[in-house]
Each structure stands twice: as structure tokens, then as C-alpha cells.
Structure 1
Amino acid sequence: MQGVLETREVQSPALESNPLGDPARRKLTVYLPPGYSDGDQRYPVVYFLHAFSNSGSSWTNTSAFTLSVPERLDALITSGQVPPVIGVFPDAWTSLGGSQWINSDAIGRYRDYLVKDVLGFVDRTFRTLPKAASRAVLGHSSGGYGALVMGRYHPELFSHLGSHSGDCYFEYCYLPDLPKAAGALLKAGGLEAWHQDFKKRSRETKPRGEDFAVINILAMAAAYSPKKGEPLNLELPFDPQTARLKLEVWNRWLVHDPVRFVPKFLDAFRKVKSVFLDCGTRDEFNLRWGTRILAEEFKASGVELRHEEFDDTHSGVSYRFENSLSFLIPKMARE
């Protein structure tokens, strides 16, 4: 790489005393473009939000024969395809696998962590352009979902959004996993018994393939339907004995569905200057359809949008960040 990666640590007041007891001090990876150390220029900033079951350090993991996202960003800058920016890779890992980048009574205040603690640290520490028009936020899967959350709540902070295969249209992306989770929890003797066994197995060997559907649903319940006093402080959207859908709980999930909150909060999204959406046509979580719905909503709102589909599945698609970065970065204010 021609640019450099730095690792810092951020002490997050938002995460102190979080319900899961996860660390409030987090590592933060920052990409500085070529020439950063040679002058006093200020730069736009791109915030990268990782997916469920990943962490901030996942962005720099090497994979045979391909490039990491920081390496792809560096290549775009050094080739002159996009102007230089600072890249920020925060860590929102939790002991349930993720946070959805929202504030939750069962997980912690991860939206506040990003927009107050991480953003504040970055603007104090690096030569940024500290305004919405010079900030982009984007991610994949739960990270793409998080980018849409930032557009809903914080258009005063982020003017450019990118969602790669972001969680949306919950009937298609989550409902298929509910009976799988119900069966595993019933077999284990309940939520707490399953979770204790899962943690033990994961430490001693590794999770099983079928564990993902269960921990995914538990994490989403913690994000969308927290309830203090219940096991793990969450309420499941189904009856544990019959898997019958609990509509009053499921409806609490749907409030958090982008296909519902984007049209409801169009006034906020109209303040955003550009949006990039994409999804693979073979996405295993059926996210193609929710992404298409979102594209229709954004087109109707008048927001500048690029919506793309590509022939691939859900995972292993980090190469798609070249498309979003090439679209969003040139639109970011540079003064």
C-alpha cells in the first residue's frame, strides 16, 4: 500500500457498563492516504461498518489472491480513480456477534459509540473536514444496515451512504431462520441452555454451521426487541414451544426494517446527498428484493442514487466496495 494503516484505541463512554459486559475500550483502524504526513491538508472521511460476526480488525484480514478493503481503497486513490480520503474502520463486535449499529437496552449504545465517540475521536486526532458533506458511511450486510440507520438518525453528520447487501425486508431475510432457531432452542432446553453450550463449544472447538441461524436471531432480537429481565434481556419473536410468531414482538422488529423506516423518514434522507445500494442476485438471505424496494423509495425521494445488482452471493463480495467508493468519494466536499 502507498498509504498507511494506523491502529489507535478509543475509550467509549457510550459503551461503558453495557448490558453484555463487552469492552468499552476499542481498537480503531485508520487509513491515511499517501502524502498525509507531508502537509497540512484536510481530508474527507469514509467510515466503514463491518458485518455481523465480524469486527473492526476483519477489514485487514488477508485472503489468498484478493485484496482487503483498505487495499482496494488505497489502489483507487493511488491510481487517481478517486481523490484521497481518510478511511476509518471502527469495531462494534459484541459477545452476541454484533450490534446492528443501533442503541439497544440488551446490547449497548453502538449508534452513540459511532457518532459521538468514534467520530469525535477521529475529528480531534486527524486532519479531517468535520462536516456532513465530507463524510460517508458504508458497509456490508449488518454494516450496510448500519449505514442506513445513520442516514435515518444522523443526516447532519453523514451526507453519503453506501449499503452493500444491507439487512432489509425482514419477512424475507429473517423469517426463514426463525423455525431453525426455535428447533435448536427447544432441543437445548431453552435460550440460556443453548447459549451456554454455544459459548462452551465455541471456546473449546468452534461453532457449528447450524449455529449461525440461532445466534443471528438472538442478536437481532437483542437489537430489535430488547426486554429487561428476560434471558439475555431479549424477547424472541416466536413462542419457544410451537414457534408460533408473536406478532406483537415481530412488529417491534418491523419498525427497524429499512423498507419501512426509509419511507417514514424521507425528510431525513432527503438531506443526504448520495446513496449507493447493491446486492447479489444469488444472495442467500433474499436481500436482493428489499434492496430493490429501497431503490424505488430513494428514487421517489429525489436523492441521488446508484443501485446495482451483480451475479454473486452474500459473502466474499468485498470487491464491490470499489463500485461504491468510486461513486461516493468524488461527491464528497473537499473544502
Structure 2
Amino acid sequence: MKTLLLAWLAVLAIGPTLSTAAAPSGSQVIGTELVSQALQGNRIGIDPKRTVMVYLPRGYDRSTQAYPVIYHFHSIFWSSPQMFEPDGAQAVFDRAVTSGTIGDFILVAADFTTPHVGTFYGNSETTGRWLDFISDELVPFIDRTYRTLPTRESRGLSGDLLGGHAALKLAMLHPEQFSAVYALHPVGTGKGLVPLATRVDWRKINRAKSWADLEGDVFAQVFVTMAQAYLPNPDRPPFYCDFIFELKEDTLVLNPRHEEQLVSTFFLDQLLKQHADALRQMSGIAFDWGRYDPNQDHVYANQSFTRELDLAGIEHFAEEYRGAAYDKNWIAHGRVEDRLLPFFGRHLKFAPTSREAGHHQDAGNAWVDKCVPGVASTHPALPTCGRSAGRGGPAF
């Protein structure tokens, strides 16, 4: 599974509780099921019954306190159960809470896998309405089932790679539901440097009769999955989508209408043109990216996207760090523990509670900004104290 991920980087019914994993700290991870109406009727065999992994903080069962919620979205070739493997996300969250980096919180990681690559987080006749599943079904389900603070000020969005793309997109589309977003190495923020035409074997894709014909070709699998999400065509088997390049008498021909549709609906720099005001409503926006992603299109696109946000006058924090696309996220004192969780500690609203030593609340019960040692920042989303670490910050 990790081999596929690295290869790609180079290029409403409620079910029973499924499982509970308790930690010595007192936190627990619960797996439940949610049957989605938004995913019904898809053309590629996606099961509408989705597993939802929920991290509950220490003492949840013994208190009446309500908590802010972070919604986390995983990328393709990955899953939420993998995220909560031993010494994974739960351990990272527990350390952050114990150290006072962030107050007690709930984190929700739903299942965004499919029979093949995973979801590209679109609303599609072919693959289902994943964005509607999140906003119309998942969020209300969590608020009904757990003791949440059910306001936008207490809901955050996060994700890595395509999950980071989803987090930023949902901030644009649903500012009435969410107030803060942190994207870890998001992809699809822009087209990058290399033309889409050169990235994939379009002849193979157009000639394929089944998914088996694409086995071993990660680029082909990824681009077909993207097309299923953003160029759906329920009348065109076997993949039930259109492509930006099509075979006409054995000649590849660009379809400008399909290209425009894909570019305008998938890439975040294009969506920004219509949804800048939504991002201005966020209490905090942050994203980062690894300088040494083998696919340098991702690096270039993120560098360009932060400039686009600057030109639009949208306050945000953006950081390029010394690392690849994924290897620094979930390690001890990595991107999640030392960047993402402190960010939400500052920008989400927590319920009134006794505070640990060294932390304070303002009159509105929001976390007060504090500096992060060794991090260079000119933006209030990440205050600086001590020695500047330069543009990329410290190398973990």
C-alpha cells in the first residue's frame, strides 16, 4: 500500500459501534458505521456504508463536557484505520493534549476508500456525492452522536495530500459549517509546471476495457479516478467518465470543453476566484508542503497558491519545510503534533474548562495565541519566539 502511495507522489442509517481502542492516557478510538444517502446509486461499486473512526479525549465517558471537532480527510491509497495503527495518530493526539499543546478535542476520520484508488472528493454521478456526504450527513451524525460544540467556531478541517485538498475545498464551499483549516501538503492547488497531457498514457486509458487494464500504472489509475469525480458520464462504460484526451481514428485529440471542466472544478486556484469571500470568513487558514516531493508540480502549485491568496488579501499561514510529501506528518513532533494541533488549539473555540498551567483563555473561551519556538513567521496565525529558523522552519 505504501509503495502505491509513494509511486503516486512521484507523479442516513447509523450502524453499530465496530471497535473501541483505549489508550493508557484514557483516550479512545471508536469505529462506527454510517450509511450514506449521498453515495447511493454510484456507478463503480462504492459501498454507501462507511466506517467512521472517532478519537475521543481522555475522560470523555466520565464527563458532561462538550468538545470542538476536527474533521480529517485521508488521501488516496490510504485509509482511516491505517491512520490509527499502533503508535499512530492516537499517540500523537494524546501527547499533544498531555503537553498542553491543545485542549481536549474530538477528531473524526471517515472512510474515503473505494474499490480502486480512493476518492477525489467531488460530487459525481459516477462516484457519489462525497462533499455532500461530509457536509449533509457526516457532520450532523457526529453532532447527534457525540458531545460536540455544534457551531462553526468549534469545527476544523484537516487532511493530507488529496485530503488536504478536500479540507481547503470544504472551507471554500461551507464557511457556515467550519471556521479553521489546516492542509498538510495539499495537492491540486494548481496545475503545476508539467502539462496534463504529458503525465499519463492517454492511449492506454482510452483503450482500457476494465480496471484490470490499468493495473501497475499508477498515473493512469489516478487520472481515471480524477476523471470519474470531475468528468462523470454515466453513459460511458467501463469507467463512466469522459477524458480530456480522446482517441479519434487512433489519434489523440484534446477536448477543450472537458479540459476546462476539469480545471475549473478540481484545481483550488480556480475555485478561489468564486470562493475568496468564504475563505475570508475563516478564523485561520494554514497549509504546508515538503520541498522534496518527487512530484515538483505539487511544490510549485503550493508556492503559487499562497501567492494567489496574498493577491486576494486572504490572511493565511503557508510553510515550505525540508522534507518530502508525507514522511514528516505523523512522526513524533512532526507536522501534525507541532504545527497542525497547535494551530487548532489557537483557532477553534473550546468550552469553558479549567486550564493546565501555562495556558490561558480569553473572554470568548478561545485559545490565546502563543509562540512556537524556532519557527519563523510574519503572520499572526503562527507567532514567532526565539531564534528564527528561516523560511522552511526546523527540519524534523
With normalisation by structure 1, the TM-score equals 0.88
Q: Could you report, residue by residue, the CA deviation over 1:14-44 in whole angstroms, capped at 9, with x for unpaired residues? A: 1122222211111111001112112100000
Is 2:332 the partner of 1:308? no
Which residue is equivalent to 1:224?
Answer: 230
Question: CA 1:242 to 1:96, structure 2 compared with 1: closer, same or farther past 3 Å?
Answer: farther
- Do the aligned partners of residues 307 and 159 (structure 1) sit closer, same or farther apart at CA in structure 2, a change above 3 Å counting? same
SS in 1 for 2:209: helix
SS of equivalent residue, structure 2 residue 38 = helix
The corresponding residue for 2:269 is: 259
What are the within-5 Å matches in structure 2 for residues 34-53 of structure 1?
A: 34-53=58-77
CA contact (8 A) 1:43 1:85 kept: yes
Q: Residue 171 in 1 paired to residue 191 in 2?
A: yes
Q: Larger % of helix: which?
A: 1
User: Take 1:174 and 1:110, find their aligned partners in 2: how far apart are those partners?
Assistant: 28
Report the 3-state secondary structure (helix = DSSP H, G, I; strand = E; otherwise coil) of the residue aligned with 1:252. helix
Deviation at 1:55, TM superposition (A): 2.3
Which secondary structure does the structure 1 equivalent of 2:66 belong to? coil
Secondary structure, aligned partner of 2:232 = coil
Q: Distance in 2 between matches of 1:54 and 1:26?
A: 15
8 Å CA contact 1:83–1:330 kept in 2: the answer is no
Q: For the Cα contact (< 8 Å) 1:106–1:234, is it kept in 2?
A: yes
5+ unaligned residues in a row in structure 2: which ranges? 1-22, 352-396
Change (3 A) 1:271 1:164: same
- 1:19-30 matches, within 5 Å, as 19-30=43-54
- Answer whether contact 1:263 1:297 (CA < 8 A) is retained: no
Deviates more, 1:19-28 or 1:41-50: 19-28
1:162-191 deviations in Å (ceiling 9; x for gaps) = 1112122543278457553325436xxx12
Bigger relative CO (Cα 8 Å, ≥ 6 apart): 1
Mean CA deviation greater in 278-287 or 241-250: 241-250
Q: Secondary structure at the match of 1:13?
A: coil
Match of 1:233 in 2: 240
Relative to structure 1, is the Cα distance of residues 312 and 70 closer, same or farther in structure 2, using a 3 angstrom cutoff? same
Range with bigger deviation, 132-141 or 263-272: 263-272
Letter in 2 for 1:162: Y
User: Equivalents in 2 of 1:133, 1:52: separation in Å?
Assistant: 29
- The equivalent position to 2:291 in structure 1, one of 270, 276, 281, is 281
What does residue 201 of structure 1 align with?
Answer: none
Q: 1:329 aligns with which of 345, 349, 359?
A: 345
For the aligned residue pairs, the C-alpha RMSD in angstroms reads: 2.1
Q: Distance in 2 between matches of 1:177 and 1:329?
A: 42
> What whole-Å deviation, never above 9, does each CA across 1:297-326 have from its counterpart, x for those lacking one?
333445442211111222333232221221
* Structure-2 change in CA distance of 1:333 and 1:185 (3 Å): same
Percent identity between matched residues is: 25
Report the CA distance shift for 1:274/1:227 in structure 2 as closer, same or farther (over 3 A).
Answer: same
Trace 1:166-245 onto structure 2 (pairs within 5 A).
166-172=186-192, 175=195, 178-185=198-205, 190-193=207-210, 195-198=211-214, 208=216, 211-231=217-237, 232-240=239-247, 241-245=250-254
1:103-118 maps to which residues of 2 (within 5 A)? Answer: 103-118=123-138
Matched, 1:94 2:114: yes
Distance 1:249 1:13, change over 3 A: same
CA separation in 2, counterparts of 1:266 and 1:89? 27
Shift in CA distance, 295/113, structure 1 to aligned 2, threshold 3 Å: same
Q: 5 Å matches for 1:119-134?
A: 119-134=139-154
1-structure distance, mates of 2:336, 2:226: 25
* Separation in 2, partners of 1:68, 1:148: 24
Can you list the C-alpha shifts for 1:108-161, whole angstroms capped at 9, x where unaligned?
Answer: 011111112211111001000001110001101110110111012101111111
User: Larger radius of gyration, structure 1 or 2?
Assistant: 2
* In 2, Cα distance between equivalents of 1:157 and 1:39: 26
Query: What is the count of residue pairs matched by the alignment?
Result: 317
Of 74, 96, 121, 1:76 maps to 96
